[in-house]
Each structure stands twice: as structure tokens, then as C-alpha cells.
Structure 1
Amino acid sequence: MNLTMAALMAATALAGVNAAGVAMAQEGEVVPSSSTGSYRSDDAILLDTVTVNATRTGESAIKAMASESVVTGETVDLLGANSLGDVLKSVPGATVEEAADSPGVAINIRGLSGYGRVAVNVDGARQNFQASGHSLAGGAVFFEPEFLETATVTRGPVANAYGSGAIGGVVNFQTKKASTFLRDGETWAAESFTRYSTNNGWAQGATGAARIGEAFGLLGSVVYRRNHKYEDGAGDTVFNSSNEIASGMVKTEIDPGNGHSLEVGAIIYNSTYRSGDPTTTNYDNDVSDNTISATYKYRPLDNDLFDLRVGSYWTNTQLDQTYLTGTYAGGDRSFAIDTYGLDVSNTSRFATGSFDHATTVGFDGFFDLVDVSDAAGGNAAFYTPNGQRKVYGAYVQHRLSYQEVVEVIGGLRYDSYEMKGGGTKATGDHVSPKITLGFSPFASTFLTGLQLYGTYAEGYRSPAITEALISGTHPGGFPFDFLPNPNLRPETAHTKEIGVNFRRNDFFTAGDRLRLKAAYFHNEVDDFIDADLQTAGCTSMTFCYQYQNIANALIEGFELEANYDMGWMFVGLSGQHQRGEDVDTGAYLNTVPADKLLTTLGFRPLEDIKATVGFQVEAVNAQTRSDTPAKGYGLVNLFAAYSPRDDLQLGLNVDNLFDRKYEPYLETDNGPGLAVKFTLRARLGG
């Protein structure tokens, strides 16, 4: 980390960040500031952000006939976000599962997480790392929030154009680039930030970008974090909650004109930390996470039959651990995965009479290679088996619109997989349909801006290597066997959803804006895979665990997201109500998060001064529908940002204002107590 830190400190000397940089998106719409409201009254609000969404056609979330949310990089600024949990907490239906002793996170959407049930992409590159254990079971994502430009979260299996396995949903992280980082008239700019938290530690970062001519852009960014052990609301220090993180990113844009463009990016992430708790084996950890991606696009202005995208990527994540306690103290083990992927799609647009059409065809696939070793003689390779997996698919989708009143989206996706390891092999395939019907029949009435839609979609997830091939005996004073199961059947999700989108300006008063999305979903998952306790067939113990198709799961619920902005004041609401059970037994699904409501109220008190102040109230209900019930809790967070001039921003955040002690459901550690965060951002450009 010394070289990275040296580069960081040198870059920081250049200064820089924009208080509320607003970048132009597709179709002339404006990228808004944050999920809590924008800094400037002339910004668009969050649900208007244009991204490439579930259908791979660029449009704003408020127009998408799907449960889709967008978070922009300015959320990092306004909320002082230090982790993906901070970034995504305002997204209904999505829960970030964090552990105090790991900087990696798992993302749960609608009660589904782990082993690829939620597909997480960074600049189009899938993040498939998984290491079995008490902190990282089921999958982990390592990502620096300061690199974020937009995060698009699509809930449910409706985004099957993004690849196989995402029966819970898809999270797409798009990182910063020169074309959106530079302001109008700038050919270069440098930004820096420094943040200190009274209950966590400090962070520094710098970003620089340059435009060379009209066809070439380059951006580089580095961030260093030194997170100390934090205290919970009772004043107790949380064990193994410190870490050190250094990250770097480079992205190049080439735009020669005539509809051609190429983006090539590389992200390097390194972290060191200690994991385990006082009663289990402890480890020193060193994580290296690397992503290289390239995306070519071709969309000529004079030919709507071509909107071509070709993406390729390589991701490599390696976790090196040293045993600190127990029989193997001083020994080493390693978990590594390489993922190679390709993604090709094209959308053709045309009209017939009063009907507009968009037809998308595509192919995608990835190859996972898992390499686990345990030089100390432990059982790491049993719990996260070595093996390889090929997953690929093709899809066709047609979107038909009639005078912006009726929209129909129909699609078919074919998936296939092949998995090998431990002398066994498994294969499978499936065809998944999707149909969405939307109505907007209320033009020129008091319901102008209202859209109703209904969807049926299927998703398909092949078993992960660990689920099919795990084998060995659990160590310690409570041993039991894990048995492999190469005959696991894939999971198939059947989702029905009805939703409402509402978009209106000048609703209560001139100049105000109201955006609202609400949806009810009903998701039936056939052949749900989970570890099952049994006593028959165990190799050496009286009982054992084996991943089996144990359940036909049902998860249903309601989600709400709304933003209202009237310039000097803004309000945001997001909430979720979910229930899940095993249809065959009536047992609860323990992966379903608790009900939650997040309320944001903010003010821009002076028209001529760029300042924003406000607060969030996060109310989480008790989770009693679980084998491990959890108490409810409420948190109050304050935020403030002030820009005395365009090249300087001061930020103040107070998290957990009343110093509440709480333990989020699906996590094993208490959350942080009171934390006051101070942020300084500065910018140079010309």
C-alpha cells in the first residue's frame, strides 16, 4: 500500500472536488445529485436519472416498467458514505449485509442473496467471489464508493438481459469517467477529499481527468481509508472492526465520431484486516480485487437499426489468510477466483404507423475458475471447492409502444451451464419468458403522469461450485460433515409484479416535482437451494449438512419509493414490506430482511448560497418471522453541505445521533454508535 499512498498524497496536493457536479446524460436529461435530494434547485431529482436499465434501453427509472432505483455518486458526498451499505440504504427491497470484520459486503434483494442470486456488475464485469465461512458465506463484493457515478438496482428477475442467475435482481455500478466528470469548458480538472469520522477513522482521495481533443478522455482516481475499530451504541468496542483499504482506478474514453466509442477501465482494490471473533479462529486477511473491462458501442445518428454494445472483462479476487489461533496458527490459506466474461447486444428501433418498436438481441457468458489452497493443512478447499463453471445464454426482447399510452415488452432467454470439479460434472439449461404490459391512459386529466404496469418474468440460477461440491468435516469442538451434491437442480424463479409510476411537475405549486414508484411482487422459487441438516449418509459424524433442493420458496411484498422537491425543501420516502416461507412446510425463510422505512427531509435555506441541511430517520421493524429473531430499532442521521464557492465544499454528517445500540438483522455484530464525520472537498480545473 505504500506506493498507492504515495501516489494518493501527491495527487491530493492538486486539490479538488465539485460540491454538486451535474453531468448531462442521454437524451438531454440531467443526472441528479442524490437519493436525498439535490444540492441545486435546478437539478433533476433522483428517479429522473437516465441509465441503461433492465431492458438495456436507456431511460429514467421513473419511466421503467420495473422495480428500479438509481443512486448517484453525490450520495457519497451528501451522506458521507464510507461503504456500500451507506450508498444503498435508501433503495427499497435491497439490504446490504455487512460484517464488522470484513470490508466485503453481500447484497440481498427481496430476500434472496448469495451464490449469484443477485448479479453485481462493475462497469459490466460480474463480481462472483465467494469464500465459505462465517463472515463471507454466499458471496462478497469489494468496491470503493468514491469511484461511483451511478448505481442502478433492478429488483426481481426482470433484468434477464444482464445474464444468468439473477433471480433476486441486478446491481450495476458505473464508475466515473472524464466525459461526465469534467464541467462544460474544462479540458482538465483535479479533485480531492478528506474525511474524518469520530467513530471510524479517516479517508483521503483524489481524482484527476483530462480531455485531449474531441476524441480522447482520461480519468484516474485513488482512495486510501484507515478505518479504526468502532464503538457500538453501548460504548463497547466491536471486535476486529478495523481495516485498511487502498484503491485505484483508471478509465479511458475514445470517441472518434460516427457513432463509435470505446471505454477501457481498470480498478485495483487492496485491503488488510483481521477477522474472526473471540470464540473462533482468527485470521489476518489480505484481499486483492482487480477488474479490467472494455466496452465498445456503435450507435450511428442516421441509422436506428444499430445500437450495438460489445463488452468483455476479467475480474480476479484473491483472499490470502494467515491463521492466528488454533491448530494451524502461523499457516496460510488462499481463496481465489478468476472470471472471464463476454456480453454482446444490439437494439434496433423502428416505427410502423403509430407503433414504435425496439428489438434487442444478445448473448452473454462467463467462465469461473476457482483455486483454493490451504498450505497449513486445514479444510479451506473442502468448504470452497476448486472447480470451474461455464454459464452462457442468449436472449431476444421486443418492446412495442403505442403513442406513449400502451407499452408491451416481451422476451425469451435461453440459459445453459456446465460445472466441473472433484471428479464430478453437472449440466443444465432452461428457457425463461418475460412479458410486461403498461398503460398510461390519463393524459390531460388530473392523473397525468400516471403509469400502470404488470409483469410476469422467470429467472434461472445454476448451482454454485460450493453448493454442489462442498465436502469435508467442520473443525473445532463441534465437528460435523459437509457432503457434496452434484445432482442439485437449478433454481427457477417465477415472479408476478404489478406497479405504479407517477411523474408530475407543478403538482402542488409552480416549480415543484413529484416522483413515485410503488410495486407489489409475488416470487415463487422452485427447487430453492439451502444447506439441510440430516443424519443419514454421513461419512464420519452422527449428523451432517448437504446443499439440497429443500424448498419451494414464496417471497412476496410491497415496495415504495418517492421523491418530492420544491426547490427550498425536499422529501424522500423509501420502504419495504416482505414475507417469505417454504411453501411445502410453512417454515420461515430466514433470508428475508425486516420491514423498513427511510424518511429524508432536507432544506436549501438560501437561494443564492449552495447549502443543504437535513436529516434521515431509519425505522426498522423487529424481525420475528425467523429462527433467529431480531429486535427493531430507529436511527436518526443528520447531514449538511455548504459550498462557499464552486471549487470548495464542506460537509458535516452525524450518524446515529442518539447513540442507539442495535444489531441489524442478517448481521452478527452491533452497528456503529454515534459518529460525527467532517468532509472537505476541493477542486481545480481549467
Structure 2
Amino acid sequence: MRVGSRTGVHAASRLALAIHLGVAGLLAGSGVLQAAEVVGAVAQGTQRQHGLDFDIPAQALGTAVLAFAEQAGVQVLFDSQRLHGLQSSSLKGRYSAEDGLARLLGSAPVTYRFTSERQVTLTRVETLQDGALALSPTTISGHLEGHPRDWTYTAPRSVSQVTREQLDRNPPRHAADMLEETSGVYSAVSQQDPGLSVNIRGIQDYGRVNMSVDGMRQNYQQSGHQQRNGTLYIDPELLSEVVVEKGATSTMGGAGVIGGVANFRTLDARDLLKPGQEIGGRIRVTSGLGGRRNGTHFIGSSAFAIGTQAWDMLLAASERHLGDYDPGTKGGIGELRTGAAKNPAVSERVKNSPVAYSGSVMRSRLAKLGLNLPEDQRLQLSYLSTQVDYDDANMMNVEKTGQLWEKLGSSDVRSQNFGLDYSYAPDNPLIDFKAKLYYVDNRNDQSTLQRGINPGYSITYQTDTYGAQAQNTSTFALSERSTVKANYGLEFFYDKVRPDSSQPVPKGSAVSASPAASMTPEGDRALGSLFTRLDYDYDGWLNLNAGLRYDRYRLRGETGINTRTFVIGKTPQQVSVPVAYDIDDQEGRFSPTFGLSVKPGVEWLQLFASYGKGWRPPAVTETMITGRPHGGGSESMYPNPFLKPERSTTWEAGFNIFKENLWFDDDRLGVKVAYFDTRVDDFIYMAMGVQPPGYGMAGIGNSAYVNDMSGTRFKGIEYQLDYDTGGAYGQLNYTRMIGDNDFCMKTAWLGGVTQPVKSGTGRRAVVTGMRPDDAANNATQCKAAILGSAEHMPMDRGTLTLGARFFDRRLDIGARARYSAGYSISDSANMTVSQSGVYPADWKPYTVYDLYGSYRATQELTLRLAMENVTDRAYLVPLGDVLAFTLGRGRTLQGTVEYQF
């Protein structure tokens, strides 16, 4: 079931839980309904008489009650079966818990009774034939504290959530650290670049994965060595959660997406305001401790919120100052980038030397202003700014140069997000409307140092994204047990890429941009999408859904190449001829999705399967990149104005298990297992060794984006488990990737390869014309060298977290193990890695252990301690940046003080 808001997602999943517990109670009882539902998270110090902020649209009563429980911070006990077919009234504004519940129930035949300050029981009233009233009996069971990730184990699809609690256990230094406990999710990490690039099931770059902040797309990209072609800059301090939806979707955020959606949700005022308070805030400071601070100088944030019945406001700021760090020293590391294959002593030098140029400074500011308007409307303005200063560096071949690190330049990144949200949720199950306008400005002012004969220069990479979204959800009650929910809407975004460089334009160039600027060329791309999805639910055990999306894009810009030919009528004399391309492409496509979930006789087990199509049109850089990547040398990048969009087909099958009171009172078990198989036709990748039009030879230094001719597959199995008894808990996730890809291309990707026609022989021969070189134009090759993240399939990896709580759960201590199976192709004869890739896979397996603990000294003050990499293991993050080759951090000790008010 798709729900637009976080609260709705929790409500929908808890409603499913209420239904299946109800059926279980019917089977276990002795003629009396014994179903009960415990919902909501009990907030500390909740008081019935205090005013609370509610925003609950009219909807099915069971779902509305679940939303009320979460927003009021109370425990609501009810018979889920008895609320079928009833509708709630809308509830919006500031009320006491009791007044709010009365307004929510409206005229529904339901009574309520507060049995304590934090617990209320609902009872449906029925009229008998003689006019008397009968109350349906209810038996209560369950626990008081909510668990924010429960909904993921009842959602019939592959979805994961990173909670604020997980972020607090081991404070992330790099943004990619946030995703290590998420199955199926990777990141091409360079510890010297604070940017985050999300990889879902082996798919990333150029919008294949929608990386968004509060629903605003982050489409910034600058060309490098093809490890990250899409970068997000975000400070984890300002986040409340991360939700990752995997695969193609027919709902908001899925336009032009084939890999999935990763939405990073920032703090809201309601995250800081305690029940009954109008003012709240949080101050948090983290620092490295003693001799194991390892470059962690300062990580801190402050957030302040104020809220009334009419409006609310949030102001927040964060900073992180990080320095060079020491890597781990135990275990083996890759050999190729360091030259250690020939000289093992080099590895020891790398492991025992600081990672130079890994320091950075990040400053972020967040502001939100929300207005509660008449007629159940809300308007919110938001602004997020993130500025990052860091050095660009490269790992040297130590065997040849004797130098570990080379500074290439420095970057000053500024990312700004402006958003305007509007919602309208009247007392009408047919209307739950949401709209958003946003603007994202990403800019990197970069300076590049001189390298060899290539002089230094400055360049500005800038991408502006303008976006609009609108959607509505309508719910239809077909009967007491069956409902249909329709979600439909549109989304649009427009990317404007505008590089600028001080580097001169070469004489005779086919384009007017400098070599540096033409690596991330100027261009415009717009994409609009209409979508709809229907969900049919019967009695809580059967769900059928079908969706349809229509995407259409337009791509505009100019590019060109310089081809070689001969002067006709003379002895062989080569000449360079510029060829320009004026690009104005547009195309559209329909993409359907289907899904099925069923509970086969037991309420704690849910089977699900889905099938979906996806479509991604080419990006500006893929189409128009051209020139020399370093301003000189033998390497050349060529455009491809004839790229075809990618078409994906994904199917998956899996199961959910969610059961409470399994072995102990109040324990809970959540399990999600899914097998996925994604095939991408016309997958776009950067091929090396292409042959340009005109006269010339294919060379390894010639590169262009091409469509894969063989069909690209990404498949595997994801495991996710969560068990909690209150006093102890454990979490496990593991990803198993299956198979590999052979990339095939047409060597002369643009055709037009020619050979001279000569009159005579020897030096006196005269060129009389040019003829097509049919052999070259028809040639294909597979398993050729490629550049990019798709060169290697992500390796298997997983995490295991075990913890325990003491002293009324004020003390929480635990340990985490991070495992990677590694990835390499060994040549036993040479004791190294042998394959055709420019950056061969050279990641060694590892297991890293972390410790953490927190103590809530008072309701306001919390102290935390975390030690990362306890055994000082040397390792490279899976799918890490093989060019930077930055080892993971060694043993690091961090302490955090948090004060809430």
C-alpha cells in the first residue's frame, strides 16, 4: 500500500498488523473476540490535558486511529475487525488528546475510555433489534513502546529505513556511513570526497537512483574518473531518517528511475516538540577522544522549534570539522593501485601512513516555516544550505613514484534547496492532496593544480534543478472488508547544467567550451511524468496493485568532435575537420507495474511479488561530453548524440514475517527476504577503445558513452532481520549479488569510419576520394575496457548489530560487525589481479567491529560513546573509489553529549 507521508506509512503498516492480530485472536479465542491492537509510540511525560498538534485527514477509521496514536503519543487499544467499514472525521489543529479523539471519531458508533494517562480503549457500539445497545468485547495485549521500523516488515515490497537511533549509535563521519546497515544499498566512497553517491542493487549514476532531500531531487553531477556521476551533499546531523525504495515505481519520485528512490528526510518541528510543549530544541556535540580521535575534531548541531495551533517554525545549524585520519593497520589491502604486487613493503607503508587530504569542513543551515491554513490546508516553506570545503587528491603508484598522495586541487561546494509544500486534506476520503515546488542549486568552485605540461585552471560546475509535484489519494470503501485506494499525480523537473572555466578553448575545436568545461558540458534536460496506482485490499490478507507511468523528456544542447580526413587531389595530407551536433531530442514511454501480496492462513507471514518496467533517458553529460579530459595528452572523450534511453524490467519475490509475543512477552520479530532480478536493455556505459568517424584507428584512449548490446543484469537476494525484547535486541542485513555482465558495443559507435581512395602508389599517390570502411563500421567487441561503477558487480556484504538495555532502558550498549566478502579476480601464476578493466577489482574481504553505548542521565541529557574499528582492521569499503583507494578509518573513539529541551 502506497502512502504519501511518513505518518501514513506507519499507519498503513500498523493497520495491516492490527488486522492480522485480530484474525489470530479469533482463531485462538473461545467464542469471544480476543483481537487487540497496541499502536503508537508512548512519548515520555504525555499528559491528556495538554494541547497537541494533530493533522489527520478523513479516512478509514482504523487507519485514522493509528495516526492519532502516533501523533498523540498514547496507546490505543481496539478490536481491529470491528472498525471495518467505518470512516473518521478529519482532525487538524491543537487539541487535548481527549478532545482530539472525540473529534476524530465524530459520529462513528464508537465509544472510548481512558484507562490511564497513556492508554485509551475503543469499543464499537451496536444496536440490537429491540433497540438496546451492545458493546463488542475486547481483550488487550501488547507492549507500550513503538518501533519506527516495524512498517517495513509489513510493507509488501522492498523498502528499508535508516532511523535516527541508528545514526546516533555510531555517528557517521562520511555520509555513506549512514547506509552500511541497509540491505541492497552501496556507495562509491572516497573518504577524501564528502559527497554521497547511492547505489541500489548495483545501479547508480545519472538519475537511475533518485537521490532526494525531502522529495527534492539532487541531480548534481561533475565528471571525474566515472566513480560518481551523481552526488548528494548532506549532513547526517540534520536528518531524521532515510527511506530507500528499491526498483521501479508508479508513485511519486519514480520518473526516469530504474534503480530506486533514496529520500533523506530532514528534521521537522514535530521531531523536536514534546507533547504539550510549544518550544523545544536539541544541542548535540561529538568529538574524537584522546589519542584515538583520528581526525574527528568536531561534529555538532543545534536545532530549535516553536509550534502553535496556527504555525510552527524550525531553525537548525550543523558543522563538522574533520582532519586527516589514520587507516587500519591489520590485514591485507589491494595491490594494484599501490604497486604492492611487486613490492609487498609498500602495503605496510600505506597502512601506517595518514590518509592525506582527507580533512574537510562542512557547514549546513536548515529553516522551515509551516502555516496551518483554514479548511484543513497547510503551507510550508523550507530552506537547506550545505557548504563543503575539501581537497581533491589521488593515490599515486607508490612503487613508481615513492609518493603516497598527490593533491590535484581543491573544491568549494555550495548546495541550496528551496521548497514550498502545500497539502489539503478535508473531511473527505476522496481528497488527500499534496503539492510541492522546489529549486535546487548545486555549485562547485574548483581549482585545479598544474600537472605535468597541463597548466592549472579554475572551473565552476553548476547544476540548477527546478521541480514541481502534485498528487492526490482517493480511498473507496467497496464493502466492509474491501477497499480501493487510488494514488495519482504528476511530477516535473528541469536540469540546467552551466559549467564555466578559465581554461582556454583549443584552436580549431568543434565546440566553444574549454576541455575542462566540455567534460561536464552545458545542456538542458526536462522530464515530465504522469502516474497512477490502484491498490485493492480485501480483509487485510490480500492486496493487488497495478500502476502506470508515462514519462517524456526533452534534451537540448550543442556538442561536436574533430574528425580526421585527407585533402582531396593531393598526396596524403591529413586535416582535422570539426563536426558539430545541435541536439534537440524528445521521446516518451509508458511503464506499467504490478504487485500481489497475500497472507497464506497465518497472520504473521506475508508473501509478495511484483513486476515493473522502468525507463531512463540519457543525461546531458552522457550525450554531449567531448574533448580531452586533462586538457592534453592522448585521451579523448567523444559525444553520442544518438544514445537510446535505457529500458528496465524488474521482478522480485519475497516474504515478510512480523510477529509479536513470539518467545517472550512484548518481544517482536521482523524479517524481510527478497529475490530481485533487473534486466536493463540499452544500458548506457562509458566504453573505451571506440573508433571515431573519419580516418583513424580505435585506441584505448578513445572513450564514449554507448548502449550495451548484450543486455545488463542485476540480480541477487536481500536479507533483513530485526528482533527486540525490550531488554535486548539484534539487527541483521545481508546482500548477496549474483552473476556478472559482459558489455558489448559497436566499436564505431557513430559509424562514418572512412579510408582514402588513392591514385597511384607510394609517396606520389594522390587521394582522389574517401570510401566507407565497412569492416570498421560493422565491428563489435565484448568484454572491452569500460569506465564507471558498472564495471564490477557489487560484492556481498552485511552487518550484524547486537545490543542490550539496562536500568529502565536508560543505558544502551552494543556491538556491530560489518562484513564484506571482497571482490577480485586472481591470477595464481602472477599472484595479482588479471582482467581487462582500467580499474581492476581489488577489494579484499574484511570484518570490522564497532562498539557503542549511550546513557540517558536525565530526560534531557544523553551521553554517548562509540569506538569504530576496534581491531584496527585495514579495509576498503565495498565498491569504493578505486582511483582514490582511500582505506577505511582505523581505530577511532568518539564521544557525544546531547541535550534536549
TM-score by shorter chain over 0.5: yes
Q: What's the counterpart of residue 181 of structure 2?
A: 90
Q: Please, which of 380, 391, 395 is the counterpart of residue 516 of structure 2?
A: 380
Q: Please, which of 83, 103, 108 is the counterpart of residue 199 of structure 2?
A: 108
The separation in 2 between residues aligned to 1:599 and 1:582, in whole angstroms, is 30
Q: Please, which of 299, 303, 321 is the counterpart of residue 428 of structure 2?
A: 303
Q: What's the counterpart of residue 60 of structure 2?
A: none
Q: What's the counterpart of residue 62 of structure 1?
A: 153
Q: 1:30 to 1:325 in 2, by over 3 A?
A: farther
Q: Please, which of 185, 209, 216 is the counterpart of residue 304 of structure 2?
A: 209
2:547 matches 1:547: no
Q: 1:568 to 1:272 in 2, by over 3 A?
A: same
Q: Which has the higher strand share?
A: 1
Q: 1:616 to 1:192 in 2, by over 3 A?
A: same
Q: What's the counterpart of residue 620 of structure 1?
A: 820
Cα deviation code 1:55-101 (max 9, x no counterpart): xxxxx322222100111223222222233222211110001222122
Q: Which amino acid aligns with 2:672?
A: K
Cα deviation code 1:460-496 (max 9, x no counterpart): 1111111011000232785211111011011111001
Shift of 1:559: 0.3
1:492-503 alignment to 2 at 5 Å?
A: 492-503=647-658
Contact preservation (8 Å) 1:61, 1:68: yes
The separation in 1 between residues aligned to 2:742 and 2:375, in whole angstroms, is 55
Q: What's the counterpart of residue 88 of structure 2?
A: none
The separation in 1 between residues aligned to 2:44 and 2:609, in whole angstroms, is 36
Q: What's the counterpart of residue 273 of structure 1?
A: 390
Q: Please, which of 349, 352, 355 is the counterpart of residue 238 of structure 1?
A: 355
2:535 matches 1:399: yes
Q: Which amino acid aligns with 1:355?
A: S
Percent of aligned pairs with the same residue? 28
Q: Please, which of 849, 855, 872 is the counterpart of residue 659 of structure 1?
A: 872
Contact preservation (8 Å) 1:21, 1:181: no
The separation in 2 between residues aligned to 1:601 and 1:642, in whole angstroms, is 17
Shift of 1:230: 1.0
Cα deviation code 1:420-464 (max 9, x no counterpart): 11122222211100000110132xxxx421111110011111111
The separation in 1 between residues aligned to 2:422 and 2:584, in whole angstroms, is 35
Q: What's the counterpart of residue 682 of structure 1?
A: 899
2:462 matches 1:249: no
Cα deviation code 1:561-620 (max 9, x no counterpart): 11000011001010100124336769695342110121110000222x511000001111
Shift of 1:642: 0.5
RMSD, matched Cα: 2.4
What SS does the corresponding residue of 1:466 show, helix, strand or coil?
helix
The separation in 2 between residues aligned to 1:476 and 1:382, in whole angstroms, is 10
2:412 matches 1:286: yes
Q: Which amino acid aligns with 1:106?
A: S
2:492 matches 1:365: yes
Cα deviation code 1:102-126 (max 9, x no counterpart): 1101110000011111101111110
Contact preservation (8 Å) 1:637, 1:653: yes
Shift of 1:331: 2.8
The separation in 2 between residues aligned to 1:252 and 1:481, in whole angstroms, is 49
Q: What's the counterpart of residue 437 of structure 2?
A: 312
Q: Please, which of 642, 660, 684 is the counterpart of residue 855 of structure 2?
A: 642
Contact preservation (8 Å) 1:24, 1:30: no
The separation in 1 between residues aligned to 2:783 and 2:457, in whole angstroms, is 41
What SS does the corresponding residue of 1:87 show, helix, strand or coil?
helix
Q: 1:584 to 1:477 in 2, by over 3 A?
A: closer
Larger radius of gyration: 2
Q: 1:452 to 1:398 in 2, by over 3 A?
A: same
The separation in 2 between residues aligned to 1:134 and 1:255, in whole angstroms, is 48
Q: What's the counterpart of residue 161 of structure 1?
A: 252
1:190-589 alignment to 2 at 5 Å?
A: 190-197=281-288, 198-234=293-329, 235-256=352-373, 258-277=375-394, 279=396, 282-300=408-426, 302-326=427-451, 327=453, 331-353=457-479, 354-377=481-504, 379-422=515-558, 423-442=582-601, 447-475=602-630, 479-537=634-692, 543=699, 544-550=702-708, 551-582=710-741, 589=790
Contact preservation (8 Å) 1:159, 1:169: no
Shift of 1:257: 5.3
Q: Which moved more, 1:414-423 or 1:207-216?
A: 207-216
Q: 1:21 to 1:115 in 2, by over 3 A?
A: farther
2:217 matches 1:117: no
Contact preservation (8 Å) 2:482, 2:538: yes
Q: Which amino acid aligns with 1:311?
A: K
Shift of 1:329: 5.0
Contact preservation (8 Å) 1:76, 1:82: no
What SS does the corresponding residue of 2:887 show, helix, strand or coil?
coil
Q: 1:28 to 1:157 in 2, by over 3 A?
A: same
Shift of 1:646: 0.9
Contact preservation (8 Å) 1:88, 1:94: yes
Cα deviation code 1:389-434 (max 9, x no counterpart): 0111101110000101110110000001110111222222111000
The separation in 2 between residues aligned to 1:103 and 1:398, in whole angstroms, is 40
2:129 matches 1:27: no
Q: Please, which of 145, 148, 155 is the counterpart of residue 43 of structure 1?
A: 145
Contact preservation (8 Å) 1:281, 1:323: no
Q: Which amino acid aligns with 1:548?
A: V
Shift of 1:192: 1.1
Q: 1:669 to 1:206 in 2, by over 3 A?
A: closer
Shift of 1:207: 3.0
Q: What's the counterpart of residue 150 of structure 1?
A: 241
Contact preservation (8 Å) 1:502, 1:516: yes
The separation in 2 between residues aligned to 1:464 and 1:261, in whole angstroms, is 35
What SS does the corresponding residue of 2:67 show, helix, strand or coil?
helix
Q: What's the counterpart of residue 570 of structure 2?
A: none
What SS does the corresponding residue of 1:554 show, helix, strand or coil?
strand
Contact preservation (8 Å) 2:627, 2:637: yes
Q: 1:631 to 1:256 in 2, by over 3 A?
A: same
What SS does the corresponding residue of 2:189 show, helix, strand or coil?
strand
Contact preservation (8 Å) 1:262, 1:296: yes
Shift of 1:328: 5.8
Q: 1:449 to 1:136 in 2, by over 3 A?
A: same
The separation in 2 between residues aligned to 1:284 and 1:424, in whole angstroms, is 33
What SS does the corresponding residue of 2:298 show, helix, strand or coil?
strand
2:671 matches 1:671: no
Q: 1:325 to 1:361 in 2, by over 3 A?
A: same
Q: 1:46 to 1:479 in 2, by over 3 A?
A: farther
The answer for unaligned runs of 5 or more in structure 2 is 1-42, 47-52, 56-65, 72-142, 330-351, 397-405, 505-513, 559-581, 745-781, 785-789, 826-834
What SS does the corresponding residue of 1:459 show, helix, strand or coil?
strand
Contact preservation (8 Å) 2:823, 2:844: yes
1:575-614 alignment to 2 at 5 Å?
A: 575-582=734-741, 589-607=790-808, 610-614=810-814
Q: Which amino acid aligns with 1:200?
A: G
Cα deviation code 1:633-656 (max 9, x no counterpart): 100000100111011111100101
Q: What's the counterpart of residue 6 of structure 1?
A: none
Contact preservation (8 Å) 2:175, 2:194: no
